[in-house]
Structure 1
Amino acid sequence: MRTSLLALCFVLFAYQATSSVILDTEGEPVRNAGGAYYLVPVSDELHGGLRPAILGNGATVILDTNLTHGVPVRFSSPLRIGIISSTMLLNIKFVTDLPLELVWKVGPEAPVGWTVNLSNELPFMGPFRVMPVEGGYKIAHFQDDIVADVRITHAGGFYRLLLQNGDPFIFQIKKATESSAKMSIV
């Protein structure tokens, strides 16, 4: 009986893990700590790609409407699972040729709200989750009693990523090609 209960728990865990797998635009599972991916807006009003930018006194994440895909990102979790699921807390970082990490983090509250900034430190457990929504995926932030969606707002001439519930940034995940997976930021 004990073995049967253990087997049932394993099957239920495996079902939950596979039913929440995050897929790229080719229908392939998104890799944990492997591969590079573009986060492509699905909105008819927004186009372009995400990239790091220096605004004010720090580095932040913006949507650049002049780019086709932006700078690729990599998702990672310390869990020893090869694919990303919507239940995993993740680090997200830009994949570049720069000698420093460009890890997404939530910065101090700015006039536009809690913004998604960049850090050179990769924490053990990231604060983000990629979650399915109608038409694609959204990123949600889970840390220090702050649970909020990542959305895009136009402020100061830039489209910045920030935390705020409602109207999340909805995107699809497009695998970056080998030649573009590591690119310099101009």
Structure 2
Amino acid sequence: MKTTFLALFLVFAFASAKADFVVDTEGNPVRNGGSYYILPALWGHGGGVGLAATGNESCPLTVVQKSSELSNGLPTRLASPYRIAYLPTNFIMEFTVVAPPKCADTPAKWTIVRGEDETKEVKLLGYENTLRGWFKIQTSTVRGIYKMVFCPTDEDSCGAVGISKDGKGHRRLVIDDDAPFHVVFRGAESSA
């Protein structure tokens, strides 16, 4: 048992040492379990990530980008299931809304839900038609700018998280490899 633990520790320590770490807007490594605002990388392209009730939802369970550039959205906890201090890029992780609405399941983790029209939307846990898998943060072409991807457990490739406007103007987060949502992470001043 001790040798297995030691081997796993060495593998993760080596992987962490070689990996680039995700950094926030101040250039600090993103803490495992820390709370951050997820914001568009370019100013003038909407605000931060939050929640909205879309379709026939009576509770805001859909993860969306706020339309106003002045909105930071909601703080989101970025966490890996592994006991590491900082988050490397391209590492499995979970996104959890820090202060979800009372009508949402807790913990309010992001998941991917397959819609009737075969779209894959980012929503909070609580749906039956969810896809199993993990999120990852991958680097963009510029250091400090990232894209989020979802990697289903039953498929070989990951899909980038993008934006899709619906008929009511909601900027829903969906899987869209053609137009990934490029983001930065700003530390949340307080966690609720």
TM bracket (short chain): 0.7 to 0.9
| Contact kept? 1:89, 1:126, Cα under 8 Å | no
Matched, 1:151 2:150: no
Q: Percent identity?
A: 28
CA displacement 1:90-142 (0-9 Å, x = unmatched): 11011116563221100022437111111159xxx961000110240000111
Provide the secondary structure at the position in 1 that maps to 2:158. strand
- 1:114 corresponds to which residue? 120
CA displacement 1:49-101 (0-9 Å, x = unmatched): 21111212442101111352110111112111111111311110111165632
Q: Given the alignment, which residue of 127, 146, 149 partners 1:137? A: 146
Q: Given the alignment, which residue of 63, 66, 69 partners 1:64? A: 66
Residues paired across the two proteins, number: 167
- Name the amino acid aligned to 2:124: L
| Contact kept? 2:54, 2:170, Cα under 8 Å | no
Which runs of structure 2 are paired with 1:1-186 in the superposition (5 Å)? 14=14, 17-33=17-33, 35-58=34-57, 59-66=61-68, 67-96=70-99, 98=101, 100-111=106-117, 113-119=119-125, 127-135=134-142, 136-143=145-152, 144-145=154-155, 147-156=158-167, 157-178=169-190, 181-182=191-192
**Moved runs in structure 1, 4+ residues, more than 6 A?**
none
- Name the amino acid aligned to 2:148: I
RMSD of the alignment, in Å?
A: 2.6
| Contact kept? 1:18, 1:85, Cα under 8 Å | no
| Contact kept? 1:92, 1:126, Cα under 8 Å | no
- Name the amino acid aligned to 2:138: M
Distance 1:80 1:172 in 2: 23
- Structure 2: state its 5+ residue gaps: 1-9
Distance 1:126 1:23 in 2: 24
| Contact kept? 2:49, 2:66, Cα under 8 Å | yes
Distance 1:151 1:84 in 2: 21
- Name the amino acid aligned to 2:136: R
| Contact kept? 2:52, 2:63, Cα under 8 Å | yes
- Structure 1: state its 5+ residue gaps: 1-9
Q: TM-score, normalised by structure 1?
A: 0.79
- 1:4 corresponds to which residue? none
Q: TM-score, normalised by structure 2?
A: 0.76
